[in-house]
Each structure stands twice: as C-alpha cells, then as structure tokens.
Amino acid sequence: MWIEYQWRTVLAYLPDYLHAATLALRITVVGFLLAFALAMIAAMARNSSVRILQILAACYVEAIRNTPVLLQIFIVYFALPSFGIRLSAVTAGTIALGINVGAYLTEVIRAGISSVGDGQLEAAQILGLSKAHIFVYIVAPQALRNVFPALVNNLVQVLLGTSLLSTIAVPEITGVATVINARTLLFVQVFGIAVALYLVLSYGLSAIAALIGRLAFRAPATARARKRSSALNLIGVRP
C-alpha cells in the first residue's frame, strides 16, 4: 500500500518528466547536428595537406577528449561571458555538448573515410571524376554506412550528456528529477523513472537510427548480410 502510494505520488509528476524529456531530445538533436558539422570540418582539416589545419584539428580533438565534459560545459556557460558571449543555459549546454561529441565524431568520420579502399579512388580518378565528385558520390556514402553504428552511439552520448546540464539549471530529466526528489524524498521512484526515461529514449533513438540506416543504405553490404536475410526469410522474419 505504502509502495503504491509512493509510485502514484511520483507518477503524478509525469508531465514534468515528459517536458524535461522533450527538452533533452531537442538538445540532443541540435547538439548532434552541431557535433557532426564540427566533425566533418575537423576530419577534413586533419586529412588536408595544410599543416596548420592538421595541427588545429588535432588540438581540438585532443583537448576535448582529455578533459571532462562537465568542465567544458562550465567553460562555455561561465567563462565565455568574460569575453562578452553570454548564452542561455540551454544554448550553452547544447553548444558544449556539440563541441564535445564533435571531437569524438571527428575520429569516427576519419575512420570512415579511410575505410573506403584506395583502389576505388584510383578507379574513380581514371574515370575522370573530380575530387569533389569522388568525395560526395564514392567516399561519403560508404564512409557513413561503415561507421553508422558509431554515429548512433555518439548520438546516445549526447543524450546522456544532457544529464550534466542539470548543473547549470537546465530543466532536463536529471534536473527535474532532483527537484522532485527534494520535494518527495522518494528517490527510488524518482530516479527510477528517470532511468527508465533515459533507457526508453536511448533505445528509441537507436531504433529510429537503425531504421533510417536500413532505408538509406539499401545496397546489400556483403554476401554474408545477404545470406543472413534469406535465412531470416525462411523463418518468417522480414529482413
């Protein structure tokens, strides 16, 4: 009875949780897009022949990957105003997360680019395709497909990173949960629901991403993949 009361009390806050989740999702999507854009630029800089660009990109990646993301969030939110850049908590948080995951994505994209065999580049060159053509039509599609799981992983990382934004008073899931906990002291239920929300969101994102992946990359990747789907067909599961 007591347990039931506890759950009902906390579940009454569901609308607040959902608002928080929506905000977290928005920050995740925008943050990831920013991260992707930064990563593309950094990856190309790293692969370019201009030494300064190479070094700058490398510094970006190493500096971000070897310092805590919480520190980066604080720097964007608290230190930038000293330079005249005053951002809202949500904006600062989104930018910080974007910069953070962007560094990790840079390495992912570089791996993707180098996974496209040299032989294909030679074949494309001989055919007369320009460097831009080669990148857009040969390298990018394959690179993206090859590193897609890693991309999705990093998307989930942004989502989990939003949790830290509670420290700068962003009303996302963890922040809201902390407040509800302060009010009800029912930490098991309060944080339990928060965890459940994160799990639903992270698995949901992965599932949607997997669907997008399947639609976007329609070419059968390998003979092994082909055999697997015909086996699935046999037991009645649609590939």
Minimum separation from the CB atom of position 162 to other proteins (A): 8
Return the number of the residue (37 or 136) whose C-beta is nearest other proteins. Answer: 136
Return the number of the residue (23 or 124) whose C-beta is nearest other proteins. Answer: 124
Give contact residues for other proteins (rule: CB under 8 A). Answer: 62-63, 65-71, 74-75, 78-79, 82-83, 117, 119-120, 122-130, 133, 137-138, 141-142, 145, 156, 160-164, 166-167, 174, 177-178, 181, 185, 187-188, 191, 194-195, 198-199, 202-203, 217, 219-223, 226
Is the separation of the CB atoms in 31 and 101 below 8 Å? yes
Q: What CA–CA distance (Å, rounded) separates 34 from 148?
A: 17
Return the number of the residue (51 or 82) whose C-beta is nearest other proteins. Answer: 82
Identify residue 234 by its one-letter amino acid code.
L
Phi-psi region of 220 (alpha: psi -120 to 50; beta: other; left: phi over 0): beta
The Cβ of residue 78 has, within 10 Å, a number of other Cβ atoms equal to: 11
Minimum separation from the CB atom of position 184 to other proteins (A): 11
Minimum separation from the CB atom of position 28 to other proteins (A): 12
**In Å, how far are 121, 133, 135, 186, 201 from 12, measured between CA atoms?**
59, 56, 52, 13, 20
Is the separation of the CB atoms in 39 and 113 below 8 Å? no
Minimum separation from the CB atom of position 9 to other proteins (A): 16
Minimum separation from the CB atom of position 233 to other proteins (A): 16
Minimum separation from the CB atom of position 152 to other proteins (A): 13
Return the number of the residue (48 or 114) whose C-beta is nearest other proteins. Answer: 114
Angle at 174 between CA 172 and CA 178, to 5 degrees: 115
Q: What CA–CA distance (Å, rounded) separates 195 from 45?
A: 39
Return the number of the residue (39 or 61) whose C-beta is nearest other proteins. Answer: 61
Return the number of the residue (68 or 239) whose C-beta is nearest other proteins. Answer: 68
